[in-house]
């Protein structure tokens, strides 16, 4: 009777196999949860920068010495270094003894502090021979000025005919807002991310009563005047030989009570240092057809598959991809695979050190291409050999973050090598990500766009303001000028009002507001 209750050898083997399989699944699940926990810890406590601290190679051997061909480097010549000598920083503008620096555009109010000896009857006994000057940085409360515009009504004596002085042309007809107010409101909202309701509070505290909806209307009308300029900049960007493109989310338009639609801004960065934003209702790749039109050249992107599918449709488009996005996969694998991921980051870091040398040496064109092919190409080939070696590991399961990083890189070999043969192609899309920062920064303040047309307005104004920053153009001065100039500027020359060309043609003598005259 007892013998029939004992499990057979076959049953025991099945139980062992089942338990082994269950244990493997549990281990994989624990690893996944550990990855999530490490990610959350990093978001709370870790550094947000992607920069990696490198140990001096003089005290640590390179992790990929065996992968790269050895190169003999001549010893640097000996130099005599003067003791206790430091190179001072070169700074522009006026500098004071307190370290305060400012340029000639900053107004200075002189306050004279008199001693008691120069007050009263004894003042004649003293004379001033010099001054000791000290600079203090001060701030006035946000000030608004009401312009009282007086136009005389005159009478011709002989005919007694009354003549009224015609009103000067304005940016917005029958509007109470001067161009200086419109430009300041746009700069505060879209450059410094001060929502209109906060600007309304500042107006109220300054003693000015306006409806908040009026500020919204003025914003929309002012941006509508700038739309042709942004369209001209869009055409300039499409003529680029190298075009970087990305997408970033934005809540725009009501989907249901208490819920907003999910939309996307698609920023594009041209090779003339211009950025254009477009709002689309989704992240679907079908928008690329309308956004890029007949673009021909090199398309620099992240790893989003829609870009690869779009580029594959046209033989006139070369698809290049971003090494920074490739690097991020290995950076995420550091917690689980510290040694292997560290090797990958060290190799990619060598590429970036060569790019830094290119910038410092100001290499361009063929010189830049030659440097990349003689220096960077060997590192890239070594990186692919290292990836092949890692892919042979039997202990790497598909859920391991290192496996995902390797798969991401190996699927994009051709696109990641484009920068080696084209000196105009950047190694990554970091320049574009820096340019689109006003969108996520703004969302922390104005949160969302109430309508989709409002999101299109944001795209228009941010296209101009982001480009102003790239070309070191004062956004307020630029907007005051073009808002007045656009109404009588020839339509065929509207491209001259884009920030890049405006700086060349009009920044010397910009149109000013009456408040500045």
pLDDT, tens digit, 9 for 90 and up, residues 17-33:
888 888 878 877 887 78
Say whether pLDDT at 76 is over 50: no
Q: Are 65 and 386 in contact (CB under 8 A)?
A: no
For the stretch 435-450, pLDDT in tens is 999 999 988 888 889 8
Q: Which residue has the higher pLDDT, 136 or 232?
A: 232
Give CA–CA dist 28/22, Å, rounded. 10
Helix (H) or strand (E) holding 361: helix 338-361
Q: How many percent of the chain have pLDDT more than 90?
A: 57
Query: What's the confidence (pLDDT) of residue 479?
Result: 97
DSSP 73-125: -PPPPP----TT--PPPP--SEE-TTS-EE-TTS---------GGGSGGGGGG
Quote the radius of gyration of the chain (alpha carbons, Å). Answer: 32
Give CA–CA dist 497/297, Å, rounded. 26
Query: What's the confidence (pLDDT) of residue 154?
Result: 85
For the stretch 34-56, pLDDT in tens is 777 777 777 777 665 565 545 44
Task: Quote the tokens at residue 193.
Answer: 């991310």
Average pLDDT of the chain?
86
pLDDT band at 83 (very low <50, low <70, confident <90, very high): very low
Residue at token pair 């009354």: 162
Query: What distance lies between CA 236 and its chain's CA centroid?
Result: 19
Strand partners, 155: 162
Alpha carbon separation from 456 to 173, 270, 395, 449 (Å, rounded): 23, 20, 50, 9
Q: Alpha-carbon torsion 301, 307, 312, 313, what sign?
A: negative
pLDDT band at 398 (very low <50, low <70, confident <90, very high): confident
Number of C-beta neighbours around residue 105 at 10 A? 8
pLDDT band at 234 (very low <50, low <70, confident <90, very high): very high
Which of the listed ranges 37-41, 81-85, 163-167, 426-430 does the model predict with the highest average pLDDT?
426-430
DSSP letter (8 states) at residue 154? E
- The pTM for the full model equals 0.79
Helices (H) and strands (E) in the chain, counts: 19, 10
DSSP 277-316: EEEESS--TTHHHHHHTT--EEEEE-S-HHHHHHHHT-TT
Give CA–CA dist 172/84, Å, rounded. 62
pLDDT band at 104 (very low <50, low <70, confident <90, very high): confident
User: Mean pLDDT across the stretch 204-212?
Assistant: 89
Give CA–CA dist 461/72, Å, rounded. 53
């Amino acid at each position: 009777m007892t013998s029939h209750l004992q499990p057979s050898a076959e049953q025991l083997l099945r139980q062992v196999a089942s338990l082994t399989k269950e244990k493997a699944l549990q281990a994989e699940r624990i690893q996944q949860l550990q990855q999530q926990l490490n990610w959350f810890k990093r978001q709370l406590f870790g550094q947000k920068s992607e920069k990696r601290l490198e140990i001096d190679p003089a005290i640590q051997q390179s992790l990929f010495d065996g992968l790269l061909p050895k190169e003999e480097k001549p010893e640097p010549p000996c130099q005599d270094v003067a003791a206790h000598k430091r190179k001072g920083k070169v700074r522009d503008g006026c500098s004071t003894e307190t370290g305060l620096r400012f340029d000639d555009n900053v107004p200075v109010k002189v306050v004279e502090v008199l001693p008691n000896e120069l007050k009263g009857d004894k003042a004649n006994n003293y004379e001033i021979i010099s001054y000791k000057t000290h600079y203090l940085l001060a701030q006035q409360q946000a000030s608004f000025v009401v312009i009282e515009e007086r136009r005389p009504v005159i009478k011709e004596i002989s005919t007694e005919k009354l003549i009224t002085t015609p009103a000067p042309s304005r940016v917005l007809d029958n509007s109470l807002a001067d161009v200086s107010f419109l430009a300041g409101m746009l700069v505060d909202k879209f450059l410094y991310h001060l929502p209109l309701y906060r600007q309304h509070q500042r107006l109220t505290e300054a003693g000015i009563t306006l409806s908040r909806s009026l500020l919204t209307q003025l914003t929309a009308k002012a941006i509508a005047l700038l739309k042709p300029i942004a369209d001209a900049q869009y055409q300039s960007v499409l003529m680029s030989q190298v075009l970087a493109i990305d997408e970033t989310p934005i809540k725009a338009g009501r989907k249901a009570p208490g819920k907003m639609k999910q939309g996307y801004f698609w920023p594009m960065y041209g090779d003339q240092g211009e950025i254009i934003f477009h709002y689309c209702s989704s992240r679907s790749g079908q928008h690329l057809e309308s956004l890029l039109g007949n673009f021909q050249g090199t398309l620099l992107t992240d790893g989003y598959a829609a870009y690869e599918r779009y580029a594959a449709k046209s033989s006139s488009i070369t698809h290049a991809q971003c090494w920074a996005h490739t690097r991020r996969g290995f950076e995420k694998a550091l917690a689980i695979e510290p040694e292997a991921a560290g090797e990958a980051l060290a190799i990619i870091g060598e590429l970036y050190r060569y790019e830094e040398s290119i910038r410092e040496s100001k290499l361009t064109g063929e010189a830049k291409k030659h440097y990349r092919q003689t220096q960077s190409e060997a590192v890239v080939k070594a990186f692919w050999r290292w990836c092949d070696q890692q892919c042979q590991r039997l202990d790497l399961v598909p859920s391991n973050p290192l496996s995902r990083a390797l798969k991401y890189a190996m699927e994009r070999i051709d696109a990641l090598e484009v920068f080696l043969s084209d000196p105009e192609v950047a190694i990554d899309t970091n320049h574009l990500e820096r340019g689109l920062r006003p969108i996520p920064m703004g969302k922390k303040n104005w949160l969302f766009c109430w309508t989709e047309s409002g999101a299109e307005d944001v795209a228009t104004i941010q296209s101009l303001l982001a480009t102003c920053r790239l070309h070191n153009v004062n956004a307020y001065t630029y907007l005051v000028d073009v808002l007045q100039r656009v109404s009588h500027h020839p339509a065929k020359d509207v491209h001259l009002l884009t920030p890049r060309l405006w700086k060349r043609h009009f920044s010397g003598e910009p149109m000013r507001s009456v408040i500045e005259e």
